[in-house]
Structure 1
């Protein structure tokens, strides 16, 4: 394990609503789960902190509404955070809290340092564009302008994710769900990001397709040594992919550690419930 994390997330908070004295004074005592019954504020993320190391896959697991996907949306700048700090181990951004950057700088980080694969491919792909056009869109955003170069990169990536080259001019709307996820992965990898976010990428897929997508993710991580944050409600997916795991409940990290450790000896009652549900 490397000593220096590639990304450090410190006390990330995301609140939907203004809050009130009822929940601001003592969120622990006055919330129903992560909801304030007085002012109807939802505390989607509460003081979430973690590090991700080079070449590591970090899993985030929890039930629907636990805040796990909101964490990724905040890191990828799809959501404005309420408060928190995010630091990237990169000379361009040394000592800078990414969450306080200008919109232009945030776009630069998204286009050069991050890749994102959404649960719903419609969020990550333009369904009426060609498949290779979707990949080119990300390359253009990262500053590429040479059409031949972009086509070569696109073809290599499609081969990597096992999409037939003869289908590269087809629109993703013609593809199955598993193939759409593969195109998303290719697009996310096109700028060679050091960090890849994957949000519930196997949800809704047939079991055989899920297995193929998981194998692809493991192959990419092994060959490219890219760091990943994988969000899932399915502990079986996390078990197959993640080196370390965070367990989230009601917007908070309630347990974290090596994935094997959490699976074999979960400390928190909710983690125990998750593990028992796998058996």
Structure 2
């Protein structure tokens, strides 16, 4: 499909709790879903491995509690992984496990290599900054110091996500949910990242607004060729956006493949249930 992965993730594990004799050994864990009834440890991500290729949209689907958002938070360094490796195909980071880097280097990756759009815009935007100020904050973090350039970039980005320019000095707290998500997308794209993470970006939006946001994401991907990881519990969103799809349940990957293949011929009973609920 593509020659070399842009992002390679290997055996990502994230647990909340210290574990006990009943759950510490992966081969003999006795869990209820991904929870240890003996000590209360939650195994949110268990041996997650995948590749993201240049220009690809990878969908991650699963019910609430399946571990998909925790995985995304680990990738963006909002959470520390318990164990695992991730490698970015970039000359400045050649062969370096990004999970093991210093906080300074992780900050560099967040500011220059990654963009993130959160489910709740409050986590991605400063609600009492102007829209332009939010984008400038990301540009400054990536090393930009030229005010006129930053304002021009902000205007272009806000225009590209259909925010009226007469509102660019307004604070996102006064915007609708759909507009807040579009400002978040503009901010995430401001440093031209090769990888964009989208975590449940249409949850809580009206159907017509959802469709607009999804169209916008698709158009951005088509025009820029950026690689994206899209997390959703909604298979309809994944069907519209993703080239390949990973299905997660109880912290583990249970199925993966081309999105059409997953939708037309699901193998795992849980995936079958998901697909049939969409029909």
Pairwise TM-score range, normalised by the shorter structure: over 0.9
Report the more deviating stretch, 233-242 or 26-35.
Answer: 26-35
CA-to-aligned-CA distance 1:57-77 (integer Å, 9 cap, x gap): 000000000000011100000
CA-to-aligned-CA distance 1:111-154 (integer Å, 9 cap, x gap): 00000000000000000000000000000000001100000000
Show the counterpart of 1:128. Answer: 128
- 1:80 aligned onto 2:80: yes
CA-to-aligned-CA distance 1:229-248 (integer Å, 9 cap, x gap): 00000000000000000000
SS at match of 1:23: coil
Show the counterpart of 1:156. Answer: 156
How many angstroms apart in 2 are the aligned matches of 1:244 and 1:196? 15
SS at match of 1:95: coil
Superposition deviation, residue 28 in structure 1: 5.3
Show the counterpart of 2:60. Answer: 60
**RMSD, aligned CA:** 0.7
Given the superposition, is the C-alpha separation of residues 126 and 27 from structure 1 closer, same or farther in structure 2, using an over 3 Å criterion? farther
SS at match of 2:218: helix
How many angstroms apart in 2 are the aligned matches of 1:84 and 1:21? 22
Show the counterpart of 1:92. Answer: 92
SS at match of 1:32: coil
SS at match of 1:21: coil
Show the counterpart of 2:165. Answer: 165
Runs of 4+ in 1 over 2 A off after TM superposition: 25-29
Superposition deviation, residue 21 in structure 1: 1.1
What TM-score does the superposition give when structure 1 sets the normalisation length?
A: 0.99
Report the more deviating stretch, 66-75 or 25-34.
Answer: 25-34
How many angstroms apart in 2 are the aligned matches of 1:259 and 1:2? 16
CA-to-aligned-CA distance 1:30-63 (integer Å, 9 cap, x gap): 0111000111000000000000000000000000
How many angstroms apart in 2 are the aligned matches of 1:173 and 1:243? 34
SS at match of 2:23: helix
Structure 1: tracts of 5 or more residues without a match: none
How many angstroms apart in 2 are the aligned matches of 1:226 and 1:72? 17
Show the counterpart of 1:216. Answer: 216
How many angstroms apart in 2 are the aligned matches of 1:64 and 1:252? 13
Superposition deviation, residue 25 in structure 1: 2.4
How many angstroms apart in 2 are the aligned matches of 1:264 and 1:28? 34
Show the counterpart of 2:44. Answer: 44
Give yes or no for contact 2:22–2:29 (8 Å, CA) kept in 1: no
Show the counterpart of 1:266. Answer: 266
SS at match of 2:37: coil
- 1:17 aligned onto 2:17: yes
- 1:116 aligned onto 2:116: yes
Show the counterpart of 2:194. Answer: 194
Report the more deviating stretch, 256-265 or 18-27.
Answer: 18-27
